[in-house]
Amino acid sequence: MQKIIVKDFSCIKSATLAVAPLTLVIGPQASGKSVLSKLIYFCTSIISDYDRLVVEDSLSFEALERRIGSQFIEWFPISAWGSKRFSINFQLGEFELIIARISKSERVRVKFCEQFVSFYKNSHEQFLAAIKKAEVKAAAKADLYDFELMWRLRQSAIQNLRKWLGRDLVENQLFVPAGRSFFTSVGKALVAFEHSGILDPVTLEFGRRFSAIRERYIRRMPGLDVSESSLAGILFSEILGGHLKTEGGKEYVQTADGRLIPFSALSSGQQELLPLAVAIRAMLPTGVPRQTGAVSGGVALRRTIYIEEPEAHLFPRAQNKLVEILAALVARRRFNNLLLTTHSPYVLAKFNNLIKAGSLARTGKTGSNAAIAQIVPETSWVPSKSVNAYAIIDGHLTDIMDESGLIAADYLDDVSGDIAREFSQLLSIEVAR
């Protein structure tokens, strides 16, 4: 399990968050939702990028500590830290990392658990010896050493991680940031922003991933299931309002009536949704049977997907459909973790319905599932034990799941109650006239 404990960092006074198959974080703007999700992504990347760090970059343990410290400052600028001495404790199974501010300076201390220190140093020495041996052999033959060796060593590094962390290992991550409409309009010109410093590392990484996924998706479109009843069909035809099409080297969204709309002319909602829709399409389950996630060498790979503000610029009915599709990512793929940050109590209320449907299906009588499916698609039923939900209130992260496994009704009522109270007060004035 991914778990993070944060104290006095940026706008976060205290937070303890455990990542479940579905994790929901709600809070007002600038409350720390994005900071929390990016901290988890950053810390997890040390493990998900482990094979590259130890083999390809061939970092010694001391160099790794320096790399993590400098990258932390790049990802989280010093000016945004605040004035206090913060601490960040991250856990992934037996892996543990602590990042703490040194007094009130502009430096951080990076400390790994002893198990990881030993694991990393042994792996680095082993792989370094193998590379040197290959280089000596290649020099004797006046030839380049076998570059396939690097691939084999990286695979070996991954296998060693699997043995150590087991089912806790997260091998792949995808972070879908807010403001993703930028990538709809910028298209293939992303390379111009690579070293500009305009985009933060997480956003830039998503841009690269989106560009690659989009190219692959468009090439494979003729063979994909985009029937109106499929999840992909609903995602594109009902929510996005059309399907992707290339013509004359240009990219369009083709609507149901045949119009071709250039990406640059899409509505604000479509521009915000397109990168998310393409990323989701690449991860959607393709059949009715439950999937166990991507498989490598017969081993199911765990993946964590982070999505900021999935509801951005969407009409409530479209939000409703999108939440059902997002739920399918975890409901039908056991090894997907989905962490969503949102401003919208409507999104939480919809997820509550999906959790309730999952609970009824598990405990209901034979035949009742068909009735439930008439209300909520079976592909989106979510078991309550798979959900964690939190709210950020005055800088503190609060668990808002109740004893029944639902998102606490009093919290949802409290979030939306202000509007209802205003209306009631206005009615009182009307009646008093």
Give pLDDT tens digits for 204-217.
888 888 888 777 76
Domain-embedded: residue 61: yes
Provide the domain count of the chain.
1
The rounded distance, in Å, linking the Cα atoms of 342 and 415 is 13
pLDDT for position 223: 46
pLDDT at 391 over 50: yes
**In the structure, what pLDDT confidence band is assigned to residue 232 with cuts at 50, 70 and 90?**
confident
CB 188, CB 215: distance < 8 Å: no
Domain-embedded: residue 66: yes
pLDDT for position 65: 96
Give the per-residue SS3 of the chain: CEEEEEEEECCEEEEEEECCCEEEEECCCCCCHHHHHHHHHHHHHHHHCHHHHHHHCCCCHHHHHHHHHHHHHHHCCHHHCCCCCCEEEEEECCEEEEEEECCCCCCEEEEECHHHHHHHHHHHHHHHHHHHHHHHHHHHCCCCCCCHHHHHHHHHHHHHHHHHHHHHCEEEEEEECCCCHHHHHHHHHHHHHCCCCCCCHHHHHHHHHHHHHHHHHHHHHHHCCCCCCCHHHHHHHHHHCCEEEEECCEEEEECCCCCEEEHHHCCHHHHHHHHHHHHHHCCCCCCCCCECCCEECCEECEEEEEEECCCCCCCHHHHHHHHHHHHHHHHCECCEEEEEEECCHHHHHHHHHHHHHHHHHHHCCCCHHHHHHHHCCHHHCCCHHHEEEEEEECCEEEECECCCCCECHHHHHHHHHHHHHHHHHHHHHHHHC
Among 74-88, 116-130, 231-245, name the one with the lowest average pLDDT.
Answer: 231-245
Give pLDDT tens digits for 112-138.
999 999 999 999 999 988 888 877 776
pLDDT for position 291: 44
Domain-embedded: residue 216: no
Give pLDDT tens digits for 283-306.
775 544 344 455 455 556 789 999
Query: CB-based burial of residue 142 (10 Å sphere; 0-12 exposed, 13-18 middle, 19+ buried)?
Result: exposed
The rounded distance, in Å, linking the Cα atoms of 135 and 72 is 34
Q: CA-based diameter of the chain, in Å?
A: 100
Q: What percent of the chain has pLDDT over 70?
A: 85
**In the structure, what pLDDT confidence band is assigned to residue 139 with cuts at 50, 70 and 90?**
low
Domain-embedded: residue 268: no
Domain-embedded: residue 348: yes
Domain-embedded: residue 85: yes
Phi, psi of 306 (to 5 degrees): -110, 125
| Average pLDDT over all residues of the chain | 85
Identify the domain containing residue 389 by its residue range.
2-196+296-432
The rounded distance, in Å, linking the Cα atoms of 385 and 363 is 13
Domain-embedded: residue 269: no
> What value does the mean pLDDT take over residues 101-116?
94
Domain-embedded: residue 291: no
> What's the order of all strands across the beta sheet hosting 260-262?
243-247, 250-254, 260-262
CB 34, CB 308: distance < 8 Å: yes
**In the structure, what pLDDT confidence band is assigned to residue 331 with cuts at 50, 70 and 90?**
confident
Nearest 5°: CA angle at 353, between 352 and 359?
A: 90
> What value does the mean pLDDT take over residues 372-393?
92
pLDDT at 255 over 60: yes
Q: What percent of the chain has pLDDT over 90?
A: 44
CB 326, CB 338: distance < 8 Å: yes
pLDDT for position 239: 87
Give pLDDT tens digits for 143-188.
555 677 888 899 999 999 999 999 999 999 999 999 888 877 665 5
Q: Which amino acid is at 51?
A: D
pLDDT for position 119: 96
List residues bridging with 338 in a β-sheet: 22, 305
Distance, C-alpha 62 to centroid of its chain: 29
The residue written with tokens 């798979």 in the block is 386
